[in-house]
Amino acid sequence: MKKTILRDQATTPDGSLMTLHEHDGVFMIRVDGVELMSTRQHHSEERLAELACDQIRSTASAVRVLIGGLGLGFTLRAALAQLGPNATVVVVELMPAVIEWNQTPEFGLGADVLADPRVEIIAGDVADVLKTSRGRFDAIILDVDNGASGLTAAANSRLYSAAGLSMARSALRPGGCLAVWSANADPAFVQRMGQSGFTVTVERARTHPTGGSWNSLFIGRIG
C-alpha cells in the first residue's frame, strides 16, 4: 500500500496548520487535518467557474474576472477555458504557500494556468481587492473556504456578511455575477444574498462527475 506523503506545510493567519499531502499522485490540502480539496474531486469547483462565466464568455469586450481562492487551480483553469484571449482573470490567494505549491512544476498542479498571460496573481486578502474595485469586474468567484463562514481564516466570514456582499456587489459591473462555493446548503446565506440586491439561483454539483458528495453553488446576478 502506498503511503500518504507530507509534501509541505504552512501556518494560516489564525495559527492553524495547512498541509499539502500526496497519495499515489493525488494531492490534498488540509487544515488541521480537515481536507479542503484534492486533485481527485474538483468537479463542483469547475462548475462554479462555468456558471460565473457563462454569460460573459461571448462578449467582445475585455472582460475582467476576480477569483478569491486559488486552491489547486481547478476553478482558475475552468474560468480560463470559458473566456476569450482579451480577458483578465485576477486571482487572490491568502496563503503564499498555496501559490508556491501551484507553481512547483514537479507537483503538476496549476503552474501552467498561472503562466497564462491573462492571469494576474495576488498574494493577499480578496476583501482588500474588493474594497478598491468599484465597478471593475464582470464576475466574482469566491472559493476561499469551506462555505459561507471562515475555516481557513476567521476573517473570511466578513465576505459573506451583508457588508461583504454589498462590497462584492459594488465591485461588479452591470449584469455582473457573484458565484460562491459551499460544501453545504445555506438558506440563510441565500436569503442574505437576495437582501443585498442579487437575483439568486442555487445549483448542486457533485465533487466528481460520477459521484462523491454534493456541494452548493450560489449564483447571484445583478441587473
CATH number at residue 169: 3.40.50.150
**What are the residues facing 184 on neighbouring strands?**
none
Q: Is the pLDDT of residue 152 over 70?
A: no
Domain residues for the domain of 52 are 41-221
Per-residue burial over 137-165, b if 16 or more Cβ lie within 10 Å, else e, is: bbbbbbbbbbbbebbbbeebeebbeeebb
Task: Note whether residue 1 is domain-resident.
Answer: no
Q: Give 91-123 pLDDT, tens digit per residue.
A: 999 999 999 999 999 999 999 999 999 999 999
Residue 149, pLDDT score:
57
Q: Looking at the domain assignment, is residue 23 inside a domain?
A: no
pLDDT of residue 155: 63
Three-class DSSP category at 21: strand
Task: Tell whether 126 is covered by a domain.
Answer: yes
Residue 15: inside a domain: no
Query: What does the mean pLDDT of the chain come to?
Result: 92
